[in-house]
């Protein structure tokens, strides 16, 4: 069901490829604008869903996929055009692929979506801060992105542990 909260997540998902377009053209204002809209829609979608009673299975899928796509396009772009250390992007993207695959297997088997947790939400926030900071000062940005990666790996561990406990 498409409701306001899901439209906010869908907007973020559809904007994600434009990150690469703007980065490829060295248009940091465009990138920052997409990141700002992404951050705003990420902040609002969950609040709108809870306030209006619009929490849905589609929203539980769209929201994290929109986050993953926004961050993945950002990492890929920074690796290609702005010398982001490859290890950061490769570890992040590999982890996301495994997490997405595990979530899909769980969804197929249990017909349930694993809800996001504190570690995942915190890492997403830290990643957005780190990406923005990387564009201003790459050394500080790498430090913050590394912290985000650690939090993201903790989230992956907790998601994996929860999946294994439920099987």
Residue 1 pLDDT > 80: no
What single string gives the DSSP state of each residue in the chain?
A: ---HHHHHHHHHHHHHHHHHHHHHTT-HHHHHHHHHHHHHHHHHHHHHHHHHT---HHHHHHHHHHHHHHHHHHHHHHHHHS---HHHHHHHHHHHHHHHHHHHHHHHHHS-PPPP-HHHHHHHHHHHHHHHHHHH-HHHHHHHHHHHHHHHHHHHHHHHHHHHHH-
Q: Would you put residue 72 in left (φ > 0), alpha (ψ -120 to 50) or beta?
A: alpha
Give residue-wise pLDDT tens across range 106-129: 778 877 777 778 898 899 999 999
Indicate the pTM of the whole model.
0.91
- pLDDT of 75 reads 97
The yes/no answer on whether domain 4-166 falls in CATH 1.20.120.1760 is yes
Give residue-wise pLDDT tens across range 46-95: 899 889 988 888 888 899 899 999 999 999 999 999 999 999 999 999 99
Q: What's the mean per-residue pLDDT of the chain?
A: 91
Question: What ranges do the domains of the chain cover?
Answer: 4-166
Residue 152 pLDDT > 70: yes
Check if the beta carbon of residue 104 is closer than 8 Å to that of residue 125: no
């Amino acid at each position: 069901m498409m409701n306001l909260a899901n439209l906010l997540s869908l907007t973020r998902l559809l904007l994600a490829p434009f990150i690469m377009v703007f980065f490829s053209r060295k248009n940091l204002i465009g990138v920052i604008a997409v990141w700002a809209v992404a951050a705003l829609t990420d902040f609002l979608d969950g609040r709108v869903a809870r306030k209006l009673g619009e929490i849905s299975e589609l929203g539980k899928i769209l929201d994290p996929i929109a986050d993953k796509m926004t961050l993945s396009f950002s990492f890929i772009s920074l690796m290609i055009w702005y010398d982001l250390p490859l290890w950061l992007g490769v570890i992040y993207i590999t982890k996301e692929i495994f997490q997405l695959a595990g979530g899909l297997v769980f969804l197929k088997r249990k017909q349930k979506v694993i809800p996001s947790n504190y570690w995942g939400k915190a890492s997403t926030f830290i990643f957005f801060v780190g990406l923005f900071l990387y564009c201003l000062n790459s050394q500080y940005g790498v430090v913050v992105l590394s912290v985000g990666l650690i939090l993201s790996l903790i989230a992956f561990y907790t998601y994996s542990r929860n999946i294994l406990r439920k099987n």
